[in-house]
Amino acid sequence: MAQKPQTREERRRQQAAKTKKTKGKKANKGMFKKIFLTLIALGIIGMLTGIATFAFMIQDTPKLDESLLKDPISSKIYDKDKKLVTEVGSQNRDYVAYEDIPKLVENAFLATEDVRFYKHNGIDIIRLGGAVIANITDGFGSEGASTITQQVVKNYFLGFEKTISRKAQEAWLAYQLEQKYTKQQIFEMYVNKIYMSENMHGVLTASKTYFGKDDLSELELHEAALLAGMPQSPNNYNPFTNPEKAEKRRNTVLYLMQHHGFISQEQKENAQKIPVESSLVKEENRKNKNEEPFDAFVDMVIEEVTEKTDFDIFSDGLEIYTTLDQNAQKHVETILNTDAAVQFPNNEMQAGITLLDTKTGEIRAIGGGRNQQVKRGLNYAIDVKRQPGSTIKPILDYGPVIEHLRWGTYHMLEDKPMTYSNGEPIGNWNDKYNGIMTMRSALLNQSTSLPCRPSRQ
């Protein structure tokens, strides 16, 4: 069918409508382009502002000092039979290498603290996003997103201040740490640094203290979970003092291990049924952290190591083998602190004892004083620099001739003036001499010249 011819006016209106539609499309395209470019510009400005702010925040970040990554390690002191006597140190820590950490223990910590540890570069963006939302809704500091790497940085370099600038520094140092060390090295730093209550650091120290296990491979699932839960609040989750809280926290860790696929549902449920207190070191066998065994002898060991070596006994992790006889030491302390051997007139009277092996000259025991209440107090056996006076005469002068020449205490000697080998005179305290007398009488009368005679035999 033939199309009806349009009039000139109709063609004009149709053309005007097409032109208006085209202009509208161009206007819309221009507006969207402007919005897009504006958003890009704002994004660039925001990014540059963020970079500048981050750079400003990290300008005072401490350097990644390797020397600060060395933890002080307690030194061990052994007796003459190579039995451990005690440990001394600024921090109570037993170091464990990564290769000696079983997967069970590692997985317990990963599930609790940083399940994506082996997937991030020091900062977990996914976990960080959740923490940012929580901090916006509930206030800054309400939820943390610190990875194990960031916790190492906090423990060694920054401390636990919660500010935005400190978090920026933490992230920057965590990135640097990941570039310099392997994941295994970082995990080793972490488990040896963490505080585990009872004035101790490190998972191995905690294993020994709470469960009496010197090897982490001996830990059972429920024990590893308990230790992994402690760093969040060590004193609150101390199983010795707060077993109920410790058990609740342990069960949370077991849930996390099952949730992240480290253990099965059955393993989780079986471990959660075990009472925390069932595997703890019995109370009567727990070491009293305020009691230093054989303090006087240990005091001498510390002094000798300090004076004769360049080692720091409190941080270098030394193994020191001594001449201590523990039975002799206990006997010396019994003599000093009871009336079993000596009837002391009062509690104020002090005494010091050094017990020697006369065949070797080795020190077997040291009694530093009576009824001492302070750790590393005055040691009367080695700290009191006084002349022994006449008390040394039976030991140096009369003792040898009694032992070797078989002289009796009534052996007769002449009390008269004498001289040293250089001709200097030896005189009695009162410048009087008593002639012929027994050794017993000479000691009683405090003769000075007469004891020189036996010593020259």
Let me know whether 212 and 337 are in one domain: no
Which DSSP helix (H) or strand (E) runs through 438? Answer: strand 435-438
- Is there a single domain that holds both residue 263 and residue 396? no
Domain boundary among 252, 285, 318: 285
User: Cα separation of 190 and 235, whole Å?
Assistant: 18
CATH assignment at residue 189: 1.10.3810.10
Predicted local distance difference test score (pLDDT) of residue 108: 97
Q: Is the model more confident about 428 or about 330?
A: 330
Average pLDDT score over residue span 55-80: 70
Residue finishing a domain among 285, 306, 323: 285
Residue 377: per-residue pLDDT: 66
Q: What is the mean pLDDT of the chain?
A: 80
Burial of residue 367 (number of CB atoms within 10 Å: 0-12, 13-18, 19+): buried
- Rounded Cα–Cα distance for residues 291 and 185 (Å): 35
Instruction: Give the end of a domain, one of 325, 359, 386.
Output: 386
How far apart, in whole angstroms, are the C-alpha atoms of residue 227 and residue 239? 9
Read off the DSSP letter of residue 73: B
Number of H helices, E strands in the chain: 16, 11
pTM reported for the whole predicted model: 0.62
Q: Could you give the C-alpha distances from 228 to 17, 150, 196, 225, 376, in angstroms and in order?
A: 75, 17, 10, 5, 35
Torsions phi, psi of 31, nearest 5?
-65, -45
User: How large is the C-alpha radius of gyration of the chain?
Assistant: 40
Q: Which one is catalytic: 113, 188, 198, 333?
A: 113
The confidence score (pLDDT) of residue 8 equals: 62
**Three-state secondary-structure class, residue 321:** strand
Q: How many domains would you assign to the chain? A: 3
Cα separation, 203 vs 228, in Å, equals 8
| Active-site residue, selected from the candidate residues 90, 264, 390, 455 | 390
Place of tokens 């070191």: 281
Query: Are 231 and 346 within one domain?
Result: no
Q: Is residue 278 part of a domain?
A: yes
87 is catalytic: no
Query: Does 427 lie in the same domain as 335?
Result: no
Higher pLDDT pick, 408 / 293: 408
pLDDT of 120 reads 86
Do 224 and 105 meet the contact criterion of CB atoms below 8 Å apart?
Answer: yes
Q: Residue 439 belongs to what domain range?
A: 390-455
Token match 């006597």: residue? 85
How far is 315 from 75, CA to CA, in rounded Å?
Answer: 7
Q: Specify whether 99 is catalytic.
A: no
Q: What is the pLDDT of residue 142?
A: 34
DSSP structural state of residue 198: T
CB-based contact 377:403 (threshold 8 Å): no
Quick: pLDDT tens for 27-57: 566 677 777 677 776 677 666 665 555 454 5
User: Distance between CA 229 and CA 203 in Å, rounded?
Assistant: 11
- Render pLDDT for 333-374 as a digit per residue (tens, 0 to 9): 888 888 877 788 888 788 888 888 888 889 999 988 887 765
Question: Is the CB of residue 158 less than 8 Å from the CB of residue 210?
Answer: no
Query: 53 in a domain, yes or no?
Result: no
Q: What is the C-alpha separation between 211 and 312, in angstroms, rounded?
A: 29
Amino acid identity at 327: N
Q: Output the pLDDT for position 306.
A: 85
Residue 170: per-residue pLDDT:
72
**pLDDT band per the 50, 70, 90 thresholds, residue 136:** very low
Q: Which two tokens stand for residue 141?
A: 């500091």
Nearest C-alpha neighbor of 144 from the set 155, 131, 133, 154: 131
Is residue 242 within 8 A of residue 283, CB to CB? The reply is no
Taking residues 257-262, what's their average pLDDT? 96
Q: Quick one: pLDDT band at residue 125, thresholds 50, 70, 90?
A: confident
Q: Is residue 192 part of a domain?
A: yes
The tokens describing 272, both together, are: 């959660």
